[in-house]
Amino acid sequence: MSSELEDKTAKYNRAKEAIEVLKARHAQELKPYMEHKEKLEGWLAEFLEKTGLKAAPTKQGNVHWTTKRTAVVKDPQAFMDHVTSTSEFHLLERRASVTAVVDYIEKHGVHPPGVHLNTYRSIRVSKTGEKE
């Protein structure tokens, strides 16, 4: 291989290592602030619960709950049986399986109707013996 390729790969590895060192240092520097913030969040949550408020406006900002929900399918067959037998298709989200779309394109030479596959590539350098 060319010496320029060797040089650029070595520089890439050094940059990657420096980034990891900085990330680790950053995580350590953030740790006490994150712990303090978590304690404050606990106090604020307890305040809202004790007072029965959904929100508490202050000069510093509005303290309020945010809610994130996830729906995990624990029994796919039971779920699909329910959806199809009751026609409650609104319980499903429509998106294509990337793996299945790639397989379809490889098999048929065209995209499935109504689907566009996006592919993003990036450079990665793994050290000799490093697992991907």
15-61 pLDDT, tens per residue? 999 999 999 999 999 999 999 999 999 999 999 999 999 999 999 89
- C-alpha 17/C-alpha 28 separation (Å) is 17
Decide if 85 is inside a domain: no
Decide if 23 is inside a domain: yes
Average pLDDT over all residues of the chain: 93
Decide if 117 is inside a domain: no
Residue with tokens 């350590």: 28
- Tally the domains of the chain: 1
Decide if 35 is inside a domain: yes
58-117 residue pLDDT tens: 998 999 999 999 999 999 999 999 999 999 999 999 899 999 999 999 999 999 999 999
In which band, very low, low, confident or very high, does the pLDDT at 130 lie, cut at 50, 70 and 90? low
Global confidence as pTM: 0.64
Decide if 6 is inside a domain: yes
Owning domain of residue 49: 1-67
- C-alpha 86/C-alpha 69 separation (Å) is 24
Identify which of 114, 76, 74, 119 has the alpha carbon closest to the alpha carbon of residue 96. 114
Residue 61: helix, strand or coil by DSSP? strand
Decide if 56 is inside a domain: yes
Decide if 104 is inside a domain: no
Decide if 116 is inside a domain: no
